[in-house]
Structure 1
Amino acid sequence: MREEDFPDTRDFAKILVVDDDQINLETICHTLEYYGHNVFPVEDGETALMAVFEFQPDLIILDINMPGMNGLEVCKRLQTEPSTSKIPIIFLTGSKTDINKAFELGGVDYIVKPFNTHEVLARVNVHLRNSLLLNTLADTNAALEKITNSLEEKVKERTRELALSNQKLTEEIAERQKLQSKLEHLAKYDMTSSLLNRISMEEHLDFKLLESQMLEDFTLFYLYMDVDQFKVINDTCGHAAGDQLIRNLSALLKRIANNDEIVARMGGDEFSIIYNSPDIESATRRAVEIRKAINDMHFDWEKEHLFVNVSMGLVELNAEFQDANHIMSVAERLYFESKSQGGGELLIYEQEKETVNNNTRAVRWVPVIQQAIEQNKFSLFGQGIYATQKQQSAKFEVLLRMQSSGSELIQPSQFISIAEQYHLISAIDQKVLEKTCQMMADFPNFKGELALNISGESVYKASFVDQAYDTIQRYDIDASKLCFEINESSALTNLNATRRFIEKLKQLGCKFALDDFGTGTSSYGFLRELDVQYVKIDGSFIHKIGSEKISRMMVESIVAIARENNMSVIAEAVETESMLKVLKEIDVDYAQGFLLHKPEALENLIKMPH
C-alpha cells in the first residue's frame, strides 16, 4: 500500500475500532495509525459504549457479529443519545444479510469481510470528510442563525432609514431621467438652431436612400445650402450677430418646410433639406422657392441692414450613391462650385450624364496613363516661387507633364483626375519623386528648394511613405531642399495619416506645405494640427484680391494665422501687377504665377546658378 494511493486530508481523526477478531482489529488499527489517525481499539460492545464517552471519537468502525452485545445493539444505543447520535458508524460484516438493519439503525456505510485495507482507508476518509462538512455546516447554520437575529434588528432600523431616503431617491431618478432626455435631445439636435444636427441628417439620409431604392415612383432630393459671406457678417458685426442670423434662418426654414421635409443644420452656416418631389423640374422649383424665401428675409443688426443669400447644391437620391457621406460630398462640391462662381447659385447634380462622360473619358485615358508609368514617359517642369520683397527665386514648384506618342506634352489637368480615380496616382507620385531626386543628385550644387505635389492617396499609404523615405536616402541628397505640398482637403480628410507622413519624412529634413489653403470648411481650426512650414493660398482668393474686399480679408486672415504658427505664406496664381502689389502690402512671403515666371524644364532651372 502506498501513501499516494489515498488523498491526504490533513484531517487526522480519532477513530474507535470495535471487533472481537484480534487480527482484523490489529490490521485496521495499524493501517489507520500509519496515516496519522488516533485509533482506540475495543474487542466487545459493552466496552465500546464506555469508550465512546471517554474517547469522543470522530468515527466508529463497528463489527456487527460479536459475543455479548453485538454491533447493531451498540449502534442503537448510541443513536438514542444526542451527544453520540451524530458520530458516523461504518459496520464490519461477514454477511450482507444484516446490512439493511444496520442502515435502519443509523449506520452510514459497511465493509464486508474479508476486507481490503485500501477500501477501509478510502471509506474512512470519505466519511470523515462528510462528517467534517456536516459539522461545519451545523456550526455555520448556528452562526447564521445568530447573525440573522442580529440582522433582523438592523433591517428594521435600515428600513426606517430607507423610508426616509426613498423620496429623495425618487426625486433624483426623476431628475436623471430629465437629464437623460436632454442629453438624447442634444445628441440629435443642434443647440443654436434647434434643428436636427449633422449626425441625425446622416441617419435620415441613409434610411431615405434605402427607401428610395426600394419603392417605385418615390423620388427624393437632397438640398445643401451655405450662407454667402457669412464670415464677413461675423467679422463686421460680431459673432453674436452671426448666431442670431443662424437662429433667424433656422426659424424661417422650419416655418416654410412641409410636413414631410427634413431640415438640419450641418454646422457653421450650412443647412440641408430632404424632400420628396415627382421630378427634377419640380424639385428645382422647390429649391428656388426656398432660396427666394431666404433672400426675402430681413436681418437687421443694430444699424446694419443685411441681405442674406445662399449657395445651393441639389442632388437626386438614386442607386448611384453608396451612402449619406457620398451624397453630402457631392452636394458640398456643388455649393463650393456655386461660391466659386460668385455665390447665390443653385447647381444641380446630373449623375447619369456625369457618370457616362467620366467613364468614357476614363476608358480612353487609363491605358495611356498605365503605359506612361511603365515606360516612365513623364517630363518635369518647374515654376519659380519668389520672395515678394526681393523678387528673387531659389524655390521652384515641380510641375508634371506626360509625353504623348508624338512630341506633344500632355497637361496634368487632362489625366491627373483619372489617375486618382483609378488609383494610379501613387505610382505617378513615385516616378516624380524618383526623377526629382535623380536631378538633385546629378546637380549637387543646387542651393534652392523644390516643391512636389503629393496626392492624398499617397499620403495615406504607409507603403508609399516608406518607399519615399528609402528613395530619398538612396540618392543621398540634401532632403531639406525637398518640400512636399499636401492638398488641404486631403490633409483634413485623414489628419492622422497626414501627421504620420510628415513625421516620417521630417526625420530626413524634408519640409512641407499645405496647398490650396482656404478652400476647406475648417482650415483655421486644423492649421495648428500639422507641422508644416508653408501655407499656400488657393488661387481663387488671389484672382479677386485686388477687386473683392472679402478675398483680401481672407488672405489677410490667413497671413495672420500663419504668422502665429511660425509659417510662411505663398500666394499662387499671381498673374497681374495689381495682385502682386496687394500681396506685398499685406506682407505675403512668396508669390508664384505666370506674371513672375512661366514654367520651363526643371533640369535647366536646377543647373543654373542661384
Structure 2
Amino acid sequence: MDIDGTSMGEVLDTADTALAVTDERCQVRWVNRAMADLLELEPRQCAGRSLPALLAGASEGPHPGLVLSVRTGEDRHTWLEVRCDPLNEGYLYRVMDVTRWRERGVGPAERDEWQKALIRMADEDPLTGLLNRRALTRELERQLALGRDGALLLLDLDNFKDINDLRGHPVGDRVMCTLANVLRDRLGNSHILGRLGGDEFAVVLSGTDEAAAVRIADRLRNAVAAIPVTGGVGTTRITVSGGVAGFRSGDGWQAVLANADLALYASKDAGRNRVTVYEQGHYADTALRVTVLDRLRNALAGDGLALHAMPMVKLGSNRVVGHELLLRLEDGHEPRLGPGEFLPAAERSGLVLEIDRWVAGTAIDALVAHPYPGLRFNVNVSGRTLEDEDFGDFVLDRIGAAGVAPGRLGFEITETAAVTNLTAARMLAQQLRASGCRISLDDFGAGFGSFVHLKQLPITGVKIDGEFVRAIDYGSRDTVLVQGIVDIARGLGVSVVAEWVERASQVDALKRLGVRVAQGFHLGKPEPLRELLSRPHGTWMRRPRLMRGDSDGVELGRLSENTP
C-alpha cells in the first residue's frame, strides 16, 4: 500500500481519525496529521520510530484491539483505542480517543452500534428515511462524473402550508411520511429518491430521457393525488407539481438542479398539479421573477426591508440571551412575499450579497444606538456571501468604526453552505472569530457531515436542525442524535442552541439532554426589531408574550423548509 506522495495520502492526511502505516517491526513509515497531533510530533519526527513506543504503553508488537491510558495532565488521563490491520509488509494503525465512552462505562459493542447508527443516518432525512439533500445531490454529481445521461425530477406539494396551518404539523409530518412511502413504492430500486427539504422531493433518473421522465412523473403525480389527508377538518386530497431537467456528461449538478427548479416553478405558475420540462431560454425567468428583483432593489434603495427579532431563551431561567434577526420584505406592494419567495431570486441574481451587507450593517447600527451589553444579535450569512472575499472586512470595518463590542454580534452559517464551500466558510469564520464575533453552524446535523467539519471550522456554537427537535418529546431516535450533538459540542467547548421548539414537553426533553438555549414559537415569536428596541432595555431580556396571529420568518439563507 503506497501512500506517500499520492492523492490517497493527501485524502488520508486530512482525516480526523489518527492513522499510521508501519513496517513489519512496527516502525513508522507514514502518519497522517491527526496521528502526528496525537503524538505531539511533526510527521517527519515520527518516521522510523516504534509506533507502540510512541503510544506510551502499547506492546512492542501489533495488537488487534488495545485500550491504553495516556497521561495528559496532572490528574487526567486520555483513553485511546488502538486497532491494527495487516498490510503488505506492514500494518495500518487506527487510534481513537474513547475517553468519553470509558468515563460513561460504555463498552465497545454499544459504542460501535451508536457509531454505526450515526453513519447509517449520515445520508438520511430524519423524518422520511429517504436520502437527504446532500446525499442526493452527491449522487447526481456522481452520475455526471461517470458520464451518464439522465434526468432530474423535482416534486413539490401544492399548497402544503395550508395542511400545516389548518390541520397542524403532526398531520403535515404524517403526510410527508406517507408521500415518501408512496414515491418509494412506485419507483422501486431502479431510481434514486430523496427529500431536498420541506415539501420538496427529487428523483435522479439515470439513463432516462426527458420524455420517459415525464411519464414517470405523471405516474407519481397520479399516485399522490390518490392519497387521502384526514385529521382536523374532514378529508382532502393533495397534489404535486413537477419539474424535469435532462442532464449529460459535462453538466454541473448545480445547473441541473437550478434548471429543474425553474421548470418546477413554471408548473406552479401554470396552475399546479402538472409537470414541466426545462427548455433553455424559454422562461425569461419571467416577469414575476423580474418583478421580484425590481422590488428587492427598490426596497434596498428605500425603506422596504425590515428585520424581525426572534428570541433565544435560556431554558433554565427563561431569560432571553440574544435574538436572531430574520429578514422581511415590507415594501407595501402586493402580493406580499415571504423570504421563501424572494430569497431564491436574490440568490440566483447575486443581489443577496447586498442584502447580507444590509442586514449586518443594520444590526450593527442598532447595537450602536442601544449600547446595553445584554442586547446581542445573530444574523445569517447566505452561501453566496461566503464567496464574497470582502464581506469579512466590511463587517470588521463597520464594527471598528462604530465601537461595538464584537461579542454582541454573531453570524450563522448553514451546514449546507459551509460544507459546499468549506474553504470559504473557514476563512470567513476565522476572520470574524479572531475579532471576537460569535460564529454558529446553523441547521447542524441535517446531514451529519458537520461532525467531520467541527474541527476544521473555528465556530463558537451550533444550532441543532429543527427536524431533530420536532419529535424530541416523543421518545424517537432523535433523542440519541441530539444527545450525540450535545456531547460532542460540549467536549469541543462549543455552545448548543435548539430551534423549532413549539411545546413545553419539547423544552423538558431538551433540558434532560443538556440543551440550555433554544428558540421557537413556544418560547417567543419574532417581533419587528423596531418594536423590540422601542421598549425599555430591561424588558429585552424577558420572554415575550405569545400573541395569536403572529407569523414566523425564514432566516436569510434558509430558502425552503417546512418550518414550524
Q: Secondary structure at the match of 2:436?
A: coil
Match of 2:386 in 1: 459
* Matching residue's letter, 2:419: L
Partner of 2:278: 352
Alignment partner of 2:213 out of 280, 293, 308:
280
Matching residue of 1:605: 532
Q: 1:426-575 counterparts in 2 under 5 A?
A: 426-520=353-447, 522-547=449-474, 549-575=476-502
Whether the 8 Å CA contact 1:404–1:410 is kept in 2: the answer is no
Structure 2 Cα separation of the partners of residues 384 and 589 of structure 1: 14
Question: Once the 2 structures are TM-superposed, how far is the Cα of residue 576 of structure 1 from its aligned partner?
Answer: 1.1
1:456 counterpart letter in structure 2: G
Rounded to whole Å, the distance in 1 between the matches of 2:219 and 2:512 is 46
Runs of 4 or more above 6 Å deviation: 197-200, 270-273, 285-288, 319-322, 330-333, 406-409
Q: What amino acid does structure 2 have at the position aligned with 1:373?
A: L
For residue 507 of structure 2, the aligned residue among 561, 577, 580 is 580
Match of 1:325 in 2: 253
Work out the CA distance in 2 between the residues paired with 1:578 and 1:442. Answer: 38
1:390 aligns with 2:317: yes
* Cα distance in 2 for residues equivalent to 1:472 and 1:460: 21
From the superposition, tell whether residues 502 and 554 of structure 1 become closer, same or farther in structure 2 (CA, over 3 Å).
Answer: same
Report the secondary structure of 2:404's partner residue.
Answer: coil
Q: Residues 29-57 of structure 1, C-alpha deviation per residue, up to 9 Å, x if partnerless?
A: xxxxxxxxxxxxxxxxxxxxxxxxxxxxx
User: How far apart in 1 are the matches of 2:303 and 2:249?
Assistant: 36
Aligned to 1:308: none
Contact 2:153 2:205 in 1 (8 A): yes
> Residue 359 of structure 1: CA displacement?
3.8
SS in 1 for 2:323: strand
Other structure's SS at 1:279 match: helix
Aligned-partner Cα distance in 1 for 2:244–2:287: 22
Percent identity over the alignment is 25
Matched residues in 1 for 2:309 and 2:420: separation? Answer: 28
Task: Assess if the C-alpha contact under 8 Å between 2:259 and 2:278 holds in 1.
Answer: no
2:328 counterpart of 1:401: yes
* 1:385–1:396 CA contact under 8 A, matched in 2: yes
Displacement after TM superposition at 1:512 (Å): 0.7
8 Å CA contact retained: 1:537, 1:571: yes
Specify the SS of the correspondent of 2:308.
strand
Give me the whole-angstrom Cα distance separating, in 1, the residues matched to 2:408 and 2:513. Answer: 27
Distance 2:348 2:360 in 1: 21
Work out whether 1:203 is the aligned partner of 2:145. yes
Residue 524 of structure 1: CA displacement?
A: 1.5
Greater Cα offset, 483-492 or 322-331: 322-331
Aligned-pair CA distance for 1:570: 0.7
- The two structures have a TM-score, normalised by structure 1, of 0.47
1:361, distance to aligned residue in structure 2 (A):
3.3
Could you tell me how far 1:601 is from its partner in structure 2? 2.9
Q: 1:353 to 1:584 in 2, by over 3 A?
A: farther
Aligned partner of 1:275: which letter?
G
Question: Following the alignment from structure 1 to structure 2, what is the Cα–Cα distance between the partners of residues 512 and 556?
Answer: 22
Partner of 2:9: none
Distance 1:597 1:284, change over 3 A: closer
Q: CA deviation at 1:468?
A: 1.5
- Cα distance per residue 1:482-541 (max 9 Å; x no partner): 110111111111111111111222232101111111223522212221111111112222
3-state secondary structure, aligned to 1:364: helix
- Structure 2 vs 1, CA of residues 370 and 431 (structure 1 numbering), >3 Å: closer, same or farther? same
Query: CA distance change for structure 1 residues 560 and 352 in 2, over 3 Å: closer, same or farther?
Result: same
> What are the within-5 Å matches in structure 2 for residues 228-307 of structure 1?
274-276=206-208, 279-280=212-213, 283=216
How far apart, CA to CA, are the structure 2 residues paired with 1:328 and 1:283?
A: 18
TM-score (norm 2): 0.51
SS in structure 1 at match of 2:207: strand
Question: Deviation of residue 412 (structure 1)?
Answer: 2.5
Could you tell me whether the CA contact under 8 Å between 1:460 and 1:501 is conserved in 2? no
Listed as ranges, the matches of 1:169-184 within 5 Å are none
Q: Is the 8 A contact 1:433 1:468 kept in 2?
A: yes
SS in 2 for 1:451: strand
> In structure 2, what is the Cα distance between the partners aligned to 1:348 and 1:522?
35
CA distance in 2, matches of 1:407, 1:475: 36
Letter of the 1:608 partner, please give it.
H
Aligned mates of 1:284, 1:423 — CA distance in 2 = 32
**Matched-pair contact (CA < 8 Å) for 2:247–2:256:** no
Q: Which residue of 1 aligns with 2:340?
A: 413
Deviation at 1:199, TM superposition (A): 7.8
Q: Which has the larger radius of gyration?
A: 1
Aligned counterparts, 1:14-53, within 5 A: none
Amino acid corresponding to residue 464 of structure 2 in structure 1: I
What is the Cα deviation at residue 592 of structure 1? 0.3
Query: Kindly tell me: are residues 364 and 406 of structure 1, through their superposed partners in 2, closer, same or farther at Cα, counting changes over 3 Å?
Result: closer
Query: Tell me, what secondary structure is at the counterpart of 2:474?
Result: coil
Question: Cα 1:374–1:327, aligned 2, differ >3 Å: closer, same or farther?
Answer: closer
Change (3 A) 1:331 1:568: farther
Distance 1:359 1:540, change over 3 A: farther
Deviation at 1:280, TM superposition (A): 2.8
Change (3 A) 1:470 1:271: same
Distance in 2 of aligned mates of 1:399 and 1:359: 27
The CA RMSD over aligned residues, in Å, is: 4.2
Question: How many angstroms apart in 1 are the aligned matches of 2:289 and 2:404?
Answer: 37
Q: 1:328 to 1:570 in 2, by over 3 A?
A: farther
Paired amino acid for 1:475: A
User: Which AA in structure 1 matches 2:146?
Assistant: H
Give yes or no for contact 1:382–1:602 (8 Å, CA) kept in 2: yes
Structure 2 gap segments, 5+ residues each: 1-138, 155-188, 193-201, 222-241, 262-272, 542-564
Number of residue equivalences: 329
Deviation at 1:561, TM superposition (A): 2.0
Aligned twin of 2:519: 592
Q: Which letter maps to 1:436?
A: A
| 1:247 aligned residue | none
Residues 393/522 of structure 1: CA separation in 2 closer, same or farther (3 Å cut): same
Say which SS state the counterpart of residue 246 (structure 2) adopts.
Answer: coil
Task: Report the more deviating stretch, 323-332 or 399-408.
Answer: 323-332
More off after superposition, 587-596 vs 516-525: 516-525
Distance 1:543 1:322, change over 3 A: farther
Q: Provide Cα deviations, 1:72-108, integer angstroms capped at 9, x if missing partner.
A: xxxxxxxxxxxxxxxxxxxxxxxxxxxxxxxxxxxxx
Contact 2:146 2:249 in 1 (8 A): no
